[in-house]
Every structure is written in structure tokens, then in C-alpha cells.
């Protein structure tokens, strides 16, 4: 009897699930605060001052900012990459390994860029 082939799909499904939760929980709150309440003048504009936001991101030795970036940018990127990869598979476009590398590689690269820029912003001041 041969052992079953190992798959990396559980990792991608876990990132997909986590990204979907972040899409559903954090992004509507950001849209409400920055897209509706702030333009209508219902949110105090001093809350969105650069110094105030930077101090919030720097709290907890910068882990707060990295966690926020991960929850709002990185995990939703992997969610979208997973949807695109499986959509391309359903449409029978391209090879599975090529589209997997393109989708997840791009999500990983953009996530690293977002985390780097956040870390650079936190450590700059």
C-alpha cells in the first residue's frame, strides 16, 4: 500500500478562512469609520491625526501595528489569492502549479511589502 500524497491545500484554506473573517469583521468597521462617519463629521478629526494614529500603531512595541496590518491587508490578500486561484482552476485557465505560484506568490510579496512599510513607519519615529 502506498501512502497518500501530501497536499499543501490545508495551509491555503486556513489563510483563506482567516482572510474571510478579517474581511467580514475589520473592513466594514474601517469603511464605516473612514468612509462614512469621518466625511459626515460624526467622527472627531483629532482621532485621525498622524501623531495619534502613529502612537496607536507603536503601542505594544509595534506589535499592534503589525497585527493590524496583518488583519486588514495580509490575510485578505491571501483570501483573494485563494479565490482567484480556484476561480482560474474552475475556468481551466493555466496550470495549477503556475497559477498557485502566481496567486500566492503575489499575495506573499504584497504582504511582505505591507509589513515592511508598517515596520518602517513604526521604527522611523
3-state secondary structure 21-70: HHHHHHHHHHHHHHHHHCCCCCCCHHHHCHHHHHHHHHCCCCHHHHHHHH
> Which pLDDT score is estimated for 105?
96
Query: What pLDDT is recorded for position 5?
Result: 81
- Contact at 8 Å (CB) between 87 and 81? no
* pLDDT given at position 4: 77
Distance CA 125, CA 119 (A): 11
Contact (Cβ atoms closer than 8 angstroms) between residue 57 and residue 121: yes
Read off the pTM: 0.82
Stretches where the chain sits below pLDDT 70 are 94, 125
Amino acid at each position: 500500500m502506498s501512502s497518500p500524497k501530501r497536499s499543501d491545500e490545508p495551509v491555503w484554506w486556513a489563510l483563506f478562512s482567516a482572510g474571510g473573517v478579517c474581511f467580514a469583521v475589520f473592513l466594514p468597521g474601517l469603511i464605516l469609520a473612514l468612509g462614512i462617519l469621518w466625511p459626515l463629521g460624526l467622527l472627531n478629526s483629532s482621532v485621525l491625526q498622524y501623531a495619534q494614529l502613529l502612537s496607536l500603531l507603536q503601542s505594544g512595541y509595534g506589535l499592534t501595528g503589525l497585527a493590524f496590518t496583518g488583519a486588514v491587508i495580509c490575510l485578505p490578500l491571501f483570501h483573494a489569492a485563494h479565490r482567484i486561484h480556484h476561480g482560474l482552476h474552475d475556468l481551466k485557465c493555466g496550470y495549477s502549479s503556475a497559477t498557485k505560484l502566481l496567486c500566492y506568490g503575489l499575495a506573499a510579496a504584497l504582504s511582505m511589502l505591507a509589513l515592511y512599510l508598517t515596520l518602517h513607519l513604526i521604527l522611523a519615529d
